[in-house]
């Protein structure tokens, strides 16, 4: 029995030696790889908006609203704060109307430490935009991209001076575009974002991840609970900002056309009631008795379908077209009256100054 076991062990040893001789790579498997007590993790790509912030933040300035003391007309004190965006190397700065509306003096503090007294070029309450100007050289200008179109889901950064803590950046996404009827001062389309916009951020920059201007921060609606605060923030789109800025620089105010009608949108059912095949337009339901439309011969229940060769779609579209018309010019407008087309020549007036 012992002899049998000895022969078996000897045979196993000989077989193992033979296998190692034929397959030398098996020798490596016999050495156990030491286990590291501190394994090194592969570094992951870090998501950062540093590039965008570095491009945009130098052009965002702190705005201080100063007013004379009621008891001492020689004493100026800071009454409010906000932010502004340098739009041009000529020193033009855009901020919010409500930031500077009541100011006797406006101070602009740049991120490089320079401080300037700013001149108020013009302000427009309806769009909540004001334009300031400072006399300075080597100004950082906010990057812009004419081809960029804001879309729901785009990541955006809000840069400003909340609560006078110094420049701060928050981020979120664009939640909605074309938010109408949200303005404190009149009809206004907003970009909606969940990026935090707090007191002092007003007038600051909303930028995309390339640091390009998306809009001007203007308002935040917040609902406080016992647990936390939820905010919905709004910004004035860049395209509208640029349009209003150029008008304020050119005229010191925004000149808007006016025809003096009250109307409602038309739908297919209403079109049939008015015996009209045309379903794109607005129905006149009232007029300023001394306004341009009344003087041109408009009548209640006319369906306005065309202005200066441009088709009418709804009330918002009409307002957009009319406000861009220059007062003092005659413009042809086509209406349907009792189902038949009628062309009226309307002398565009200057919109009454309701928002100043």
Which of these, 215, 249, 213, 233, lies nearest to 130 by C-alpha position?
249
Residue written as token pair 């769009």: 127
Q: Is 337 annotated as a binding residue?
A: no
Active site includes 8?
A: no
Measure the CA–CA gap between 187 and 124, rounded to whole angstroms: 12
Active site includes 36?
A: no
Q: Is the distance from CB of 215 to CB of 150 less than 8 angstroms?
A: yes
Distances (CA, A) of 4 to 1, 15, 18, 143, 212: 5, 17, 21, 90, 87
Q: Is 351 annotated as a binding residue?
A: no
For residue 162 the two structure tokens come to 């909340």
Q: Is 232 annotated as a binding residue?
A: no
Q: Which of 57, 124, 128, 220 is catalytic?
A: 128
Measure the CA–CA gap between 292 and 327, rounded to whole angstroms: 10
Written as tens digits, the pLDDT of the chain (356 aa) is 555 555 556 555 556 555 555 555 555 555 454 555 555 555 566 788 999 999 999 999 999 988 887 776 667 777 778 999 999 999 999 999 999 988 889 999 999 999 999 999 999 988 899 999 999 999 999 999 999 999 999 999 999 988 778 888 999 999 888 766 544 444 567 898 888 887 888 899 999 999 999 999 987 655 544 444 456 788 999 999 999 999 999 999 988 899 999 998 876 666 666 655 556 788 999 999 999 999 999 999 999 999 998 998 888 888 888 988 999 999 999 998 888 899 999 999 998 865 44
For residue 119 the two structure tokens come to 């001149």
Element (H, E) at 205: strand 205-207
pLDDT at 31: 47
Q: Which of 57, 202, 220, 233 is catalytic?
A: 202
β-partners of residue 108 are: 63, 116
Q: Is the distance from CB of 300 to CB of 286 less than 8 angstroms?
A: yes
208, with CB counted inside 10 A (0-12, 13-18, 19+), is: buried
Q: Is 67 annotated as a binding residue?
A: no
Domain assignments of the chain as residue spans, ordered by start: 48-254, 257-350
pTM of the predicted structure, to 2 decimals: 0.76
Q: Is 291 annotated as a binding residue?
A: no
Q: Which of 57, 83, 98, 183 is catalytic?
A: 98
Distances (CA, A) of 44 to 41, 103, 155: 9, 50, 21
Q: Is 264 annotated as a binding residue?
A: yes
Distances (CA, A) of 151 to 156, 198, 215: 10, 23, 12
Element (H, E) at 16: helix 2-22
At the topology level of CATH, where does 48-254 sit? Answer: Thrombin, subunit H (2.40.10)
Measure the CA–CA gap between 132 and 144, rounded to whole angstroms: 19
pLDDT at 231: 61
pLDDT at 177: 85
pLDDT at 206: 96
Residues in the chain: 356
Active site includes 77?
A: no
Return the CATH architecture of domain 257-350. Roll (2.30)
Which of these, 11, 250, 20, 256, lies nearest to 127 by C-alpha position?
256
For residue 293 the two structure tokens come to 């439309």
Helix, strand, coil content of the chain in percent (nearest 5) = 20, 35, 40
- Give the contacts of 52 (CB within 8 A, at least 6 positions apart): 157, 207, 208, 209, 210, 211
Tell me the backbone φ, ψ of residue 82, rounded to 5 degrees: -170, -160
């Amino acid at each position: 029995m012992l002899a049998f076991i000895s022969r078996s062990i000897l045979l196993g040893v000989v077989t193992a030696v033979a296998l190692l001789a034929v397959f030398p790579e098996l020798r490596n498997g016999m050495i156990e790889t030491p286990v590291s007590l501190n394994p090194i993790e592969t570094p992951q790509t870090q998501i950062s908006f540093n590039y965008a912030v570095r491009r945009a933040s130098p052009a965002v300035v702190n705005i201080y609203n100063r007013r004379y003391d009621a008891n001492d007309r020689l004493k100026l004190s800071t009454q409010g704060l906000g932010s502004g965006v340098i739009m041009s190397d000529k020193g033009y700065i855009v901020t919010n109307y409500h930031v500077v509306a009541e100011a006797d003096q406006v101070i602009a503090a740049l991120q490089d430490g320079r401080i300037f007294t700013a001149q108020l070029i013009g302000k427009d309450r309806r769009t909540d935009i004001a334009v300031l100007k400072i006399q300075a050289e080597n100004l950082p200008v906010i990057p812009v991209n004419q081809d960029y179109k804001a879309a729901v889901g785009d990541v955006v950064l809000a840069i400003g001076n909340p609560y006078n803590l110094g420049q701060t950046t928050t981020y979120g996404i664009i939640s909605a575009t074309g938010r109408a009827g949200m303005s404190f001062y009149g009809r206004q389309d907003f970009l909606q974002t969940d990026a935090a916009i707090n007191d002092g951020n007003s007038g600051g920059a909303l930028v995309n991840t390339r640091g390009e201007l998306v809009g001007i921060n203007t308002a935040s609606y917040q609902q406080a609970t016992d647990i936390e605060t939820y905010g919905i923030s709004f910004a004035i789109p860049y395209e509208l900002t640029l349009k209003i800025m150029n008008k304020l620089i050119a005229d010191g105010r925004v000149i808007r056309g006016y025809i003096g009608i009250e109307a409602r949108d038309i739908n297919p059912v209403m079109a049939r009631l008015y015996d009209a095949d045309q379903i794109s337009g607005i129905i006149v339901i009232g007029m300023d008795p001394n306004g341009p439309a009344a003087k041109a011969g408009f009548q209640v229940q006319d369906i306005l379908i065309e202005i200066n060769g441009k088709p009418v779609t709804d009330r918002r579209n009409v307002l957009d077209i009319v406000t861009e018309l220059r007062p003092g010019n005659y413009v042809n407008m086509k209406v349907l009256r009792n189902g038949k087309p009628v062309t009226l020549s309307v002398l565009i007036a200057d919109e009454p100054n309701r928002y100043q």
